[in-house]
Amino acid sequence: MKNLFDVTKIKGMELRNRFVRSATWEGMCDEQGRPGRKLAECYQRLAGGGVGLIITGYTFVRPDGKQTRGSMGAHSDNFAGDMRALCTAVHNEGGKLCVQLVHAGGQARVPPGINLIAPSALAATEYSAVPSGMSLGDISEVVAAFGESSRRAKVWGFDAIQLHAAHGYLINQFLSPRTNHRVDAYGGSIENRMRFLLDVYRSARCAVGADFPVLVKLNGSDFIKNGFSIDDAVKVAAALDHEGIDAIEVSGGTPASGDCTPVRRKIDTREQEAYNLPLAVRIKSAVSCPTMVVGGFRTFDLVREVIEKEKADYISLARPFIREPGLVHRWQAGDTSRARCISCNGCYRPGLREGGITCIVDRTERSGKAHR
């Protein structure tokens, strides 16, 4: 029987357990996307707390693909020393570090004079403005940028890369019929809509070689009318599996998905947890590669059950690790009480104001104790 604390391997990358820190924006890089000591210390705490695989916050492959202030960039060779420091901080604590690569497409926030791009020139709730529809030349350039960023990641010492194909960013924009109205080889049927993702995967694979782990984060559903569906997701996952993807992390939702966004609030009961698990089960049944599932996990018994019943191979969490970077060690030591995260999403607010994501509930409690 599989166990949460099994030692496993993904394409030769040995992981000490089945816990993954799913990517989340940290807001700890400078305006150019260069990481510093604060982010290295954040990852060091996660690795020291027992997380097997840490996936970085979404890391833009070109400046026109950046969405949020403080995001990390993988577009410049000049970041080598700082990136190696991130990897060293994690490796010194026995963890592994995977860089998540993204282009935000229509969700990017670009300065004046920079063109906003997406598969099609149309308005969408989550877009910052109406973008320009990408030419074939634009597509080739972005595909190449993913490859170059992948090459850098391997040179810098990361243990794996993950392609962000979820949450309404550029790859997901191509996959979704809601945002892809193209009439060429990149639009229409699901076989055409997945072409951009497959091009990106092949570019990344060519850059890092056959023996380096390449993962993907894939929406099982956009949870939105005319969006990317689970039936399409199963076909895309099977195609990626055939191409040689090394693991698929299953998520869901976009900023336009109402109550079904990727970071749902008020997960108060076990029944509200694991909201992407049914999607992950469908996808796991269609592939041979390992699957990861993210989305509202808070209860140890549920996490253990998912692994023991082989509904997924790895459990991904993000917000619980913001409040408790040592959650894995706590659970492994026998204190299996519920994760302390209350799903308020308040952790993102100080990051925007103060340059770093943090749990405001914990901070308030500490402040209260200090003033007693």
User: Which residues of the chain carry a pLDDT beneath 70?
Assistant: 350-354, 363-372
- Show the tokens assigned to 30: 């400078």
Sequence-distant (6+) residues with CB within 8 A of 341 are 298, 319, 320, 322, 323, 324, 359
Give me the domains of the chain, ranges plus CATH numbers: 8-370 (3.20.20.70)
Q: Report the Cα–Cα distance between both ends of the chain, in Å, rounded.
A: 49
Write the pLDDT tens digit of every residue in 103-134: 999 999 988 888 999 999 999 999 989 999 99
DSSP 212: S
Give the C-alpha separation, 39 to 300, whole Å.
27
Structure confidence at residue 359 (pLDDT)? 87
Contact 304, 4 (CB under 8 A): yes
Give the C-alpha separation, 237 to 299, whole Å.
28
Structure confidence at residue 372 (pLDDT)? 47
> If we measure between CA atoms, which residue out of 148, 112, 220, 222 comes closest to residue 178?
222
Write the pLDDT tens digit of every residue in 258-289: 999 999 998 989 899 999 999 999 999 999 99
Alpha-carbon distances, residue 124 vs 130, 189, 194 (angstroms): 8, 21, 20
In one letter, which amino acid is 120?
S
Give the C-alpha separation, 347 to 352, whole Å.
10
Write the pLDDT tens digit of every residue in 141-151: 999 999 999 99
